[in-house]
Structure 1
Amino acid sequence: MPLTPGTYQLLTIQSRQKAGYRLAAPDGSTVWVPSEQAAPGWRPGQEAEVFVFQDREGKWAGTTQKPKIQLNQFGFLEVKSLSPFGAFLDWGIAEKDLLVPHREQPEPMQAGLSYLVYLYLDPASGRLTASGYLQRFLDTGPPDLALGEAVDLFIWEATDLGVNVIVNHRYKGLVYANETFVRVRLGDQRQGYVKAIRPDYKLDIQLHKPGYESVTDAQTQLLHILQAAGGFLPLTDKSPPAEISRRLEMSKKVFKKALGGLYKARKVRLEPDGVYLNQTS
């Protein structure tokens, strides 16, 4: 099987040299790993898992550094420098920055700012390339997901309806504004849950666990916040939803259910001025 840049590969350590190691791939190609990018204790004949890419000269290189993005994934990366060819991103690999050609920039990128991009293999050059045109890399077919399933999210962009998210590096999803009770920013990575799969295969996503699980999680969260606040929170079931969301990052509905459960368990007491943590909690 040929080497694929932008992925982890299990290779055999072929030889050790002054400046690094030469690793052999099953297809007969070799990968150079500088000493500072190798793991301690490497010896010829051993197998080692490394992240492989092509260096500035197009030769195979490897590293044990963890990249911020891999092939066919999305990532939120900072622009390190600009050049006549495009923008170079910091993707966590010291030996080489990641290029976003001008043709792959929806708007001119600026040094020092971070952007959500997709890493793909350019068929023309055979090199790893990043793109800011995210929509064309998303799967628009039937999603391989189930209702209530936990998914990994990238916060993508705000819309009139809420916040668009990228789901499992593969699908587009939407978190409705009236269900967004946590502070989110472009590029944030969070866990979410599949709320609905629409007939057009688009996904509705929620940030909290569905059903009663969200209430039990909220009870634990509320107890931790009470403890950190010295045992008192100036919130009641009459508090405005916006104030509850700002302080607790949960909806008023979930707050009331969690509060009711903690009260029945005698872990809190409710007073006109707010919630008090019982000393035994």
Structure 2
Amino acid sequence: MIQIGEFNTLEILRDTEPGLFLGDADNNEVLLPNRYVPEHFEIGDKIEVFVYLDNDERIIATTTEPFIINGEFAVLRCNEVSNFGAFLDFGLVKELFCPFKEQAFPMKKGGWYLVRCYLDDVTERLVASSKTNQFLDNKELTVAQFDQVDIIVSHPSDLGMNVIVNNIHTGLIYKDSIFQDLSVGDKLKGIVKKVRPGNKLDIGLGEIGYRNIEPNADKIMQELTDNNGFLAVTDKSSPEKIKDLLQMSKKTFKKAIGTLYRQKLVELKPDGIYLKKQD
């Protein structure tokens, strides 16, 4: 079955005046207009296309990759606001419609908004919603403590930064765990630091405990290499200085330099860290 709002790998059935007709194993067909037809092709070839409804509500295929597909989250620009809702740029000729009822806050032309794309059950049109929490659920978790997860930065709060976890759960990165600039829509790797009562997820941007030592030790080694083998920071330095210089907490920093010292890769002196010359 040809899936609207998704990428489909289809067979080239025939070449016609308006373009190529593509089909699936169930004898469903869709037109790939001439503007998207590849320079070289053979009847019977397989081609990956994105399928959606065009401005005339006809099912159509394109080889252009959209900024968002059905079931995904992304930050999109609002191109226009009408009496019915907002129209967002998602990389195709047709814009993605976001009804007023699906706007967490009124959208404005030129603004950027985190939205989820979904398929309207009645019209089979792709639409957007900035009320992203309605698509997330922590009742039955699919992740556990120490799991690595994909996160999307959702919105700030008094406690830190709310994130979308694996496209299905909500999580929170506490302020004291943030050591880099984060913007709404950023897509990053994270770690489930803790599962709190009520299935609330504490998320970290780096691996925790013993898992956190090696990557940060590597980071310090890279900084030493880039700075002629010296960093003017020690375990006596303020947490703010360590954060500004290395984007990590003081606790993580002390573990990392301890690892490097035991491996005899660095020298620790009152004025800073020196890269040890290897024999």
Measured against the shorter chain, the TM-score band is over 0.9
For residues 115 and 89 of structure 1, the distance between their equivalents in structure 2, rounded to whole angstroms, comes to: 9
Q: How does 1:157-172 map to 2 (within 5 A)?
A: 157-172=155-170
Q: How does 1:93-108 map to 2 (within 5 A)?
A: 93=92, 95-108=93-106
Superposition deviation, residue 112 in structure 1? 2.4
Q: Which residue of 2 aligns with 1:114?
A: 112
Q: Which residue of 1 aligns with 2:76?
A: 77
Q: Which residue of 2 aligns with 1:139?
A: 137
Q: Which residue of 2 aligns with 1:215?
A: 213
Deviates further, 58-67 or 233-242: 58-67
For residues 232 and 140 of structure 1, the distance between their equivalents in structure 2, rounded to whole angstroms, comes to: 46
Alpha carbons of structure 1 residues 145 and 40: separation in structure 2 relative to 1, 3 Å? farther
Give the superposed CA RMSD: 1.9
Gaps spanning 5+ residues in structure 2: where?
none
For residues 202 and 39 of structure 1, the distance between their equivalents in structure 2, rounded to whole angstroms, comes to: 48
For residues 57 and 27 of structure 2, the distance between their equivalents in structure 1, rounded to whole angstroms, comes to: 17
Q: Which residue of 1 aligns with 2:54?
A: 55
For residues 76 and 58 of structure 2, the distance between their equivalents in structure 1, rounded to whole angstroms, comes to: 24
**TM-score, normalization by structure 1:** 0.92
Alpha carbons of structure 1 residues 40 and 245: separation in structure 2 relative to 1, 3 Å? farther
Q: Does the 8 A contact of 1:30 with 1:60 survive in 2?
A: no
Superposition deviation, residue 186 in structure 1? 1.2
Superposition deviation, residue 115 in structure 1? 0.9
Q: Which residue of 1 aligns with 2:44?
A: 45
Q: How does 1:1-281 map to 2 (within 5 A)?
A: 1=1, 3-18=2-17, 20-93=19-92, 95-280=93-278
Deviates further, 104-113 or 254-263: 104-113
Deviates further, 101-110 or 32-41: 32-41
For residues 62 and 220 of structure 2, the distance between their equivalents in structure 1, rounded to whole angstroms, comes to: 43
Superposition deviation, residue 19 in structure 1? 5.1
Measured against aligned partners, the alpha-carbon deviations of 1:188-213 in whole angstroms (never above 9, x if no partner) come to 11100112223322211111112222
Deviates further, 160-169 or 42-51: 42-51
Superposition deviation, residue 161 in structure 1? 1.7
Superposition deviation, residue 40 in structure 1? 4.7
Deviates further, 111-120 or 195-204: 195-204
**TM-score, normalization by structure 2:** 0.92
Superposition deviation, residue 86 in structure 1? 2.1
For residues 17 and 257 of structure 2, the distance between their equivalents in structure 1, rounded to whole angstroms, comes to: 64
Q: Does the 8 A contact of 1:25 with 1:31 survive in 2?
A: no
For residues 211 and 182 of structure 1, the distance between their equivalents in structure 2, rounded to whole angstroms, comes to: 19
For residues 41 and 147 of structure 2, the distance between their equivalents in structure 1, rounded to whole angstroms, comes to: 40
Deviates further, 239-248 or 196-205: 196-205
For residues 22 and 266 of structure 2, the distance between their equivalents in structure 1, rounded to whole angstroms, comes to: 61
Gaps spanning 5+ residues in structure 1: where?
none
Measured against aligned partners, the alpha-carbon deviations of 1:3-49 in whole angstroms (never above 9, x if no partner) come to 32111112111112355321123443322223443445322112222
Q: Does the 8 A contact of 1:163 with 1:176 survive in 2?
A: yes
Alpha carbons of structure 1 residues 276 and 67: separation in structure 2 relative to 1, 3 Å? same
Q: Does the 8 A contact of 1:16 with 1:43 survive in 2?
A: no
Equivalent position amino acid for 1:158 in 2: P
> How many pairs align?
279
Measured against aligned partners, the alpha-carbon deviations of 1:152-175 in whole angstroms (never above 9, x if no partner) come to 111111112211100011110111
Measured against aligned partners, the alpha-carbon deviations of 1:94-140 in whole angstroms (never above 9, x if no partner) come to x2221112221122212222111011112232211000111111123
For residues 6 and 112 of structure 2, the distance between their equivalents in structure 1, rounded to whole angstroms, comes to: 23
Q: Does the 8 A contact of 1:183 with 1:249 survive in 2?
A: no
